Amino acid sequence: MQKFKSNWQITKNWQLVIPLIGMIALGYCAFKLAGLFVSTKNLAIALILAAIIFFLLLKLTLKIFEKVEKRWELTYRWELISVFLVFATTGSSSVFVSRPLIKLMGINRDNLPLFAYWILYILIGFIFYQILLVCIGWLFGQYKFFWDFEKKMLRRIGFKRFLD
């Protein structure tokens, strides 16, 4: 455990929650992916396949961590897991928030051309994604990282004068 803590630069025990949540999320994803290939009725085979997928996803995630660790300005390595959890949570949450709003506005596939519907759906989802990214980042203790990330993204799409 001491090696794990030193490798991820964990100085306080509460920080162990972040890697634990990351491992649970990775395990859940692996199990869901295994369910795409094997029926979950045969639980033993599904779990074996999930374990293999988990291992492969873990290796891929650690490779990605090595690459982004140099680019992102984070104080501790465990914060990488926190940032990835924020991205994952925000992606799912923006869909859950924007879908009811679109229905409330009366936008559906029946009253708009399919192309226009999807453009509006993506645009509204993108707007909520940006808002939720900062909010959920704050909940995970990464407000500064995500606010800087947002400012950088908004500058790239032309909102430079509003941020300076």
The per-residue pLDDT for range 13-31, each reduced to its tens digit, is 788 888 888 899 999 999 9
pTM reported for the whole predicted model = 0.72
The verdict on 54 and 96 lying in the same domain is no
Query: In this structure, are residues 15 and 31 in contact, taking their beta carbons and an 8 Å threshold?
Result: no
Q: How many domains does the chain have?
A: 2
The verdict on 91 and 129 lying in the same domain is yes
Residue 164, pLDDT above cutoff 70 = no
The per-residue pLDDT for range 63-101, each reduced to its tens digit, is 988 888 888 888 888 888 889 889 988 988 888 888 888
Rounded Cα gap, residues 103 and 116, in angstroms: 15
- Give the end of a domain, one of 71, 99, 114: 71
Query: In this structure, are residues 15 and 75 in contact, taking their beta carbons and an 8 Å threshold?
Result: no
Measured CA angle at 77 (ends 134, 82), to 5 deg:
30
What DSSP state is assigned to residue 112?
S
More confident residue, 162 or 124: 124
10-14, 69-73, 147-151, range with greatest mean pLDDT = 147-151
What phi, psi does 38 have (nearest 5°)? -130, 140
- Give the end of a domain, one of 71, 87, 113: 71
The verdict on 62 and 82 lying in the same domain is no
Q: What is the mean pLDDT of residues 9-13?
A: 79
Other beta carbons less than 10 A from residue 12's beta carbon: 7
What DSSP state is assigned to residue 11?
-
Residue with tokens 């908004």: 154
pLDDT for 133 equals 93
Residue 162, pLDDT above cutoff 70 = no
